[in-house]
Amino acid sequence: MLTRDVLKSYLLEMPRGHIFDLTYTLFADVFPPGEADAGAREQLRIFAEECACDVARNAAEGRFELTRR
């Protein structure tokens, strides 16, 4: 199971420009209750900022894209 600590470690080790696809299912595991919750999306935004990543929502494919700055 993906945890915030594991995800943070991975994101911080990614090279610039690399994209991590965080599916809505994984997002719900790490940021419950999931994509439909505005609070969970805000937690992701703050978390991504801590990891020097930009976040883009790809609703058509059911995922968030975290791009390392």
Sheet with strand 53-58: strands edge to edge: 19-23, 63-68, 53-58
> Mind listing the pLDDT tens digit for each residue in 37-57?
999 999 999 999 999 999 999
63 confidence band (pLDDT: 50, 70, 90): very high
User: Could you state, in order of their start, the residue ranges of all structural domains in the chain?
Assistant: 6-60
- Residue 30 CB burial class (10 angstroms; 0-12, 13-18, ≥19): buried
**DSSP annotation of 17:** T
Strand, helix or coil at 19?
strand
Whole-model pTM: value is: 0.93
> Mind listing the pLDDT tens digit for each residue in 7-26?
999 999 999 999 999 999 99
